[in-house]
């Protein structure tokens, strides 16, 4: 087999040797995107630009891999965002920058999420690079976000409450990546109303100069910052007219509701809520999905500024803690709508589930796992016929697919790794001992999560078992 062969003496201990394009054998084969990776124990990789071989024992014959480049967007919450690592980027380098492909500038977060806390997906990208898969990461996660509340959105059905704070609609006004957000929604007397005067929130901000929000200076945020809760509804319910037309308003204490729809056809009813459909104008209240989709479609790589083909654009949906405790039917609807949104844009979707929280408990996570596999941790999962897959199929998107299936415009939705199932419930050593509800993984947890994610990701990204 043609390839690059080295003996142990050519690699001084503790060094990394870099082989540029001109040093590689058989450029014609390489030009055809076949790379030959030199083995050095478990530490070898190729990024298509240069070969990096870490010194060590176990050097042997080369093995052939096919080099591919993919764009991978991440949509989750704080664990996925990476707001969980030690902030020391030097001590935790694998979570902040790629060791495998430094010339490609893989740093986490590369796009969208600005805080630079490191992530499990950066290390997962390094593991994939060793298989000849160059992952262009874009992290669109939103700390504290729920698939139901923040990524999909819903309306309370006759559920407006007295003396209660609601989120009001806020247009983009702060600059530095600020997108604003939609207000909360209620469905009253046959009409859909949006809160247009209420609490203001903040999400997705990246600024080198401080921006004042609620009297606090922010340089950047990719977590939800809740605004002041001074805006409350009245102590008794006002009248919502059955004949209201779009644009009519209802003053409700310090809250103002504005009629945005006089029909129910645009919303999906489930369990006392209207869960917005992926093609509804009220879907995605913080514009998180739209923001990530835009970057995925336009984002190329360092050596080819043109966007990658739709076949090589993916989004990884991985949430958990913020949705733990809700009904499985609601979580099913939320994940299905988010998956359908990206799939309809010809972005392939990989659906996973985040890591277990010992404080939140197994019952709540079993509810989420049920949405995917039809049962909790003790059950044998059936993802192909599970609730989310069944719902997507009924919507015309096909069921969850095995990696070997041929993808098309619809049905390009895959099941990734459930970290809850992969790592189980005995994970005290992988979690920070303090913090909110013990939901954040530590550095060891980051490594464990990355190693659990990478094998399945590799199969999906290569479309082969």
On whether the CB atoms of residues 288 and 151 are closer than 8 A, the answer is yes
Both 125 and 225 in one domain: the answer is no
Closest CA to 73 of 400, 355, 318: 318
Both 203 and 268 in one domain: the answer is yes
For residues 212 and 218, what is the distance between their CA atoms, to the nearest angstrom? 6
For residues 246 and 259, what is the distance between their CA atoms, to the nearest angstrom? 5
Q: Which of 66, 91, 112 is the last residue of a domain?
A: 66
Residue 337 lies in a domain: yes
Both 236 and 323 in one domain: the answer is no
Residue 166 lies in a domain: yes
Q: What is the mean pLDDT of each run of 10 residues along the chain (465 residues)?
A: 32 35 32 35 36 38 57 88 55 51 40 55 80 78 91 93 95 87 95 95 81 84 82 95 96 97 76 90 94 79 59 91 90 96 92 91 94 94 91 88 62 90 92 69 85 93 67
For residues 100 and 44, what is the distance between their CA atoms, to the nearest angstrom? 8
Q: Which of 229, 256, 276 is the last residue of a domain?
A: 276
Both 29 and 62 in one domain: the answer is yes
Phi, psi angle pair for 376, to nearest 5°: -85, -165
For residues 76 and 124, what is the distance between their CA atoms, to the nearest angstrom? 16
For residues 118 and 81, what is the distance between their CA atoms, to the nearest angstrom? 8
Please name the residues in contact with 430: beta carbons below 8 A apart, sequence gap of 6 or more: 355, 423, 441, 442, 444, 445, 448
Both 176 and 33 in one domain: the answer is no
- Structural domain containing residue 17: 8-66
Q: Which of 276, 295, 323 is the last residue of a domain?
A: 276
User: Could you give the C-alpha distances from 362 to 78, 200, 358, 377, 433, in angstroms and in order?
Assistant: 20, 34, 8, 8, 18
pLDDT more than 90, % of the chain = 40
Both 266 and 129 in one domain: the answer is no
Could you give the angle at the alpha carbon of 347 between the alpha carbons of 346 and 351, nearest 5°? Answer: 130
For residue 66, what pLDDT is reported? Answer: 56
Closest CA to 46 of 103, 120, 118: 103
For residues 358 and 455, what is the distance between their CA atoms, to the nearest angstrom? 25
For residues 84 and 238, what is the distance between their CA atoms, to the nearest angstrom? 44
Tell me the angle at which helices 387-394 and 362-373 cross, rounded to the nearest 10 degrees: 40
Both 129 and 212 in one domain: the answer is no
Give me the number of domains the chain comprises.
Answer: 3
Closest CA to 350 of 136, 84, 72: 72
For residues 99 and 52, what is the distance between their CA atoms, to the nearest angstrom? 10
Residue 113 lies in a domain: yes
Please name the residues in contact with 89: beta carbons below 8 A apart, sequence gap of 6 or more: 95, 96, 97, 116, 118
Residue 150 lies in a domain: no
Both 93 and 50 in one domain: the answer is no
Closest CA to 189 of 233, 151, 159: 159
Residue 107 lies in a domain: yes
Both 58 and 205 in one domain: the answer is no
pLDDT in tens, 64-87: 445 677 888 999 988 888 755 444
Both 439 and 343 in one domain: the answer is yes
Residue 360 lies in a domain: yes
Residue 168 lies in a domain: yes
Both 338 and 385 in one domain: the answer is yes
116 CB-contact burial (10 Å; exposed 0-12 / middle 13-18 / buried 19+): middle
For residues 316 and 60, what is the distance between their CA atoms, to the nearest angstrom? 35
DSSP string, 3-47: -----GGGS-TT-EEEE-GGGSS-HHHHHTTEEEEPPBTT-EEE-
Neighbours of 237 (CB within 10 A): 14
Both 325 and 443 in one domain: the answer is yes
Q: List alpha helices for 317-442, DSSP H.
A: 328-343, 362-373, 387-394, 419-423
For residues 136 and 122, what is the distance between their CA atoms, to the nearest angstrom? 10
Residue 173 lies in a domain: yes
The number of helix segments (H) and strand segments (E) in the chain equals 9, 19
CATH number at residue 135: 3.40.50.1110
For residues 238 and 131, what is the distance between their CA atoms, to the nearest angstrom? 62
On whether the CB atoms of residues 76 and 317 are closer than 8 A, the answer is yes
For residue 265, what pLDDT is reported? Answer: 66
Helix or strand run (H / E) with residue 121: helix 120-129
């Amino acid at each position: 087999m043609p390839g690059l062969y080295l003996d142990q003496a050519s690699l001084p201990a503790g060094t990394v040797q870099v082989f540029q394009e001109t040093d590689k054998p058989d450029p014609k084969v390489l030009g055809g995107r076949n790379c030959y990776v030199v083995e050095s124990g478990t530490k070898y990789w190729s990024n298509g630009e240069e070969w990096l071989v870490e010194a060590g024992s176990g050097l042997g014959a080369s093995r052939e891999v096919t080099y591919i480049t993919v764009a991978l967007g991440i949509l989750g919450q704080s664990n996925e965002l990476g707001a969980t690592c030690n902030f020391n980027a030097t001590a935790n380098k694998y979570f902040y920058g790629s060791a495998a492909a430094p010339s490609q500038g893989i740093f986490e977060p590369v796009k969208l999420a600005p805080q630079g806390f490191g992530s499990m997906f950066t290390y997962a990208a390094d593991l994939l690079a060793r298989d000849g898969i160059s992952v262009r990461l874009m992290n669109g996660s939103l700390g504290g976000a729920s698939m139901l509340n923040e990524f999909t959105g819903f309306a309370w059905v006759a559920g407006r409450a007295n003396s209660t704070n609601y989120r009001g609609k806020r247009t983009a006004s702060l600059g530095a990546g600020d997108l604003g957000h939609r207000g909360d929604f209620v469905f009253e007397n046959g009409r859909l109303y949006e809160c247009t005067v209420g609490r203001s929130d903040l999400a997705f901000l990246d600024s080198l100069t401080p921006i004042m929000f609620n009297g606090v200076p922010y340089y950047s945020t990719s977590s939800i910052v809740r605004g002041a809760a001074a805006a409350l509804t009245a102590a008794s319910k006002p009248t919502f007219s059955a004949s209201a037309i779009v644009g009519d308003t209802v003053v409700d204490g310090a809250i103002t509701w504005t009629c945005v729809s006089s029909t129910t056809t645009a919303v999906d009813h489930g369990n006392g809520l209207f869960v917005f459909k992926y093609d509804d104008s009220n879907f995605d209240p913080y514009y998180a999905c739209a923001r990530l989709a835009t970057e995925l479609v336009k984002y190329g790589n360092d050596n080819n500024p043109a966007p990658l083909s739709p076949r090589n654009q993916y989004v990884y949906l991985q949430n958990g803690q913020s949705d733990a405790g809700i009904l499985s039917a609601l979580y099913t609807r939320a994940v299905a709508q988010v998956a359908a949104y990206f799939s309809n844009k010809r972005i392939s979707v990989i659906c996973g589930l985040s890591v277990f929280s010992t404080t939140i408990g197994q019952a709540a996570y079993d509810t989420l796992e049920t949405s995917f596999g039809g049962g909790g941790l003790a059950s044998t999962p059936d993802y192909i016929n599970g609730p989310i897959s069944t719902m997507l199929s009924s919507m015309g998107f096909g069921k969850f697919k095995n990696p070997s299936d041929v993808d098309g415009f619809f049905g390009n939705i895959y099941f990734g790794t459930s970290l809850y199932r992969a790592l189980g419930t005995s994970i005290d050593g992988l979690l920070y001992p303090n913090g909110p509800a013990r939901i954040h993984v530590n550095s060891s947890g980051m490594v464990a999560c990355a190693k659990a994610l990478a094998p399945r990701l590799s199969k999906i990204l290569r479309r082969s078992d």
